[in-house]
Structure 1
């Protein structure tokens, strides 16, 4: 089954023009043996605009479109990505207390959409995602979010660790949600500027992110079930944050 033409851009010159324009792209797929001036330009433009580039076999590209792709396909994004520092400044200028969500390895677009929906309802100003290892914020994600992804600031960064440093430099505490953390969610002070890091359901938050965070917490559960769905867990955490801030 071919992707909808409105979701992808195929061909070297069309992708170059898309990268030069204001069009927001999720990623670029390049035939792993592609070469030439246009390919080099695509790599440079993608790097300048922080658009991930993935190298794939030609069969992969052929399976996505019946258009002459010349070894290049780009995915259009359904959201507009924002600069993290500019979003932090925007929140501060409004006189609000930052409440951000950072997604570490969450790949299911339905979970991302559900997280965005809850985040908007609980007063989160921004969601921070990496440029790789996260589900594409496509039409399915926007649909699952009931439009919330179009109402919240989404910051795509090339390094979550560098983003964590940016948060710290701006006085924003970072907390990671982990199953084995001794502290409970209600033991964490969430009325101050903070960002919650959520990992995927299998591996959780990456260890280096946990070590760089200010603290870790867990969600208490009855019984010995492995884990909560990440979007459900995020909702429980954000409700606690909203409760603390309202009280």
Structure 2
């Protein structure tokens, strides 16, 4: 993790959050106590900041400085709002192609997906504030810099984003093995948002209930699933093939 993208110390993190800095994630020491730590927790929850509890050893690895039980990472990019992203693409006259990542947690997978998204003309990537992979140095590196070229939007809830997209005339398609439809049965040659799930759980069942269509990749081997970044690439290139 780049030290330039870090804030350490509880009060410094609180001030950064209140100043509306692009805080990507806060790592908080397990079992940390004290009034100031309680203030930090309240501030993070009030501003819907992504955080996770970690052992003190992880914080010590992140920074040699006096972290006081908390280290924050600043995103190297600025995020866009969902409304700005969707309205801008629709007004441009393009056939929208969005990618929704439902709590994907690995930064390297995230970076690889961003790289493929940039290569296939994705108009924007939508992630959830809580539980999603951070936009950090690993993300930037594995995206080969593509993270600076693809708009990324953080939303409070994936389901609300899906409802907004559907209300804007954009079809939502979830990648899941819980269907009989293959990706080759889906029409991607229209405004569409493809939803990819987390590495271990896939797309959330509550999300699967509200999407317009579900699709899976045909599998002939003994392993039941692909790495999510590889599967995402297959979906995006099928969409690109249909649009060419």
What is the TM-score when the length of structure 2 is the normalising length? 0.88
* 1:177-210 superposed Cα distances (whole Å, 9 cap, x missing partner): 1124211112111122111111134322111111
Aligned residue for 2:3, secondary structure, equals coil
CA distance in 2, matches of 1:224, 1:11: 49
The residue number in structure 1 matching 2:225 is: 227
The residue number in structure 2 matching 1:244 is: 242
Structure 1 stretches lacking a partner, 5+ long: none
CA distance in 2, matches of 1:15, 1:164: 32
Structure 1 window deviating more from structure 2 (114-123 vs 5-14): it is 5-14
* 1:6-25 superposed Cα distances (whole Å, 9 cap, x missing partner): 23211233223322445311
CA distance in 1, matches of 2:7, 2:190: 43
CA distance in 1, matches of 2:21, 2:115: 24
The residue number in structure 1 matching 2:158 is: 160
CA distance in 1, matches of 2:14, 2:212: 42
CA distance in 1, matches of 2:197, 2:217: 14
Q: Is the 8 A contact 1:16 1:38 kept in 2?
A: no
Offset of residue 37 of structure 1: 6.1
Q: Is the 8 A contact 2:188 2:242 kept in 1?
A: yes
Structure 1 window deviating more from structure 2 (93-102 vs 198-207): it is 198-207
CA distance in 1, matches of 2:26, 2:199: 27
The residue number in structure 1 matching 2:59 is: 61
* 1:157-181 superposed Cα distances (whole Å, 9 cap, x missing partner): 2211122122122222111111242
The residue number in structure 2 matching 1:125 is: 123
Task: From the superposition, tell whether residues 239 and 59 of structure 1 become closer, same or farther in structure 2 (CA, over 3 Å).
Answer: closer
CA RMSD of superposed structures (Å): 2.3
Q: Is the 8 A contact 1:117 1:146 kept in 2?
A: yes
The residue number in structure 1 matching 2:3 is: 5
* 1:63-111 superposed Cα distances (whole Å, 9 cap, x missing partner): 4322222333211112222211111111112111221111123222221
Task: From the superposition, tell whether residues 81 and 63 of structure 1 become closer, same or farther in structure 2 (CA, over 3 Å).
Answer: same
Offset of residue 36 of structure 1: 3.4
Structure 2 residue 207 is matched with structure 1 residue 203: no
Q: Is the 8 A contact 2:2 2:137 kept in 1?
A: no
Q: How many residues align?
A: 243
CA distance in 2, matches of 1:8, 1:237: 35
Aligned residue for 2:161, secondary structure, equals helix
